[in-house]
Amino acid sequence: MTEASDTENNKNRKPKGPGVWKVLQSILAGAFGVQSDKRREEDFSSHSPWPYIIAGVLFTAGFVIGLILIVQMVLAGQ
């Protein structure tokens, strides 16, 4: 392949979305309030907010369910 065809192939590719690990790190860092400006800028420059929205909703639901279960276990022990 030549340089011209490499450049053309790179232009035709869709930009990859953030990986699962990167989304998880961003959600956890955001939940604890320790996310860096660099990471925040990367997150907001992503082509689609849906991975972050879905992961955020799942994390929040899991957190609430976890708190409910902990409270139920503590109250059952009294």
pLDDT tens for 9-31 read 555 666 677 788 888 888 888 88
**Which pLDDT score is estimated for 54?**
92
pLDDT < 70 regions, the chain? 1-15
Q: Which pair of tokens denotes residue 68?
A: 């409910």
**Which pLDDT score is estimated for 44?**
83
- Compute the distance between CA of residue 60 and CA of residue 57 in angstroms, rounded to an integer: 5
| pTM strictly above 0.75 | no
**Which pLDDT score is estimated for 66?**
97
Residue that has been written with the tokens 């991975």 in this structure: 51
Categorise residue 17: left if φ over 0, alpha if ψ from -120 to 50, beta otherwise. Answer: beta
**Which pLDDT score is estimated for 6?**
54
Burial degree of 22 (CB within 10 A; 0-12, 13-18, 19+): middle
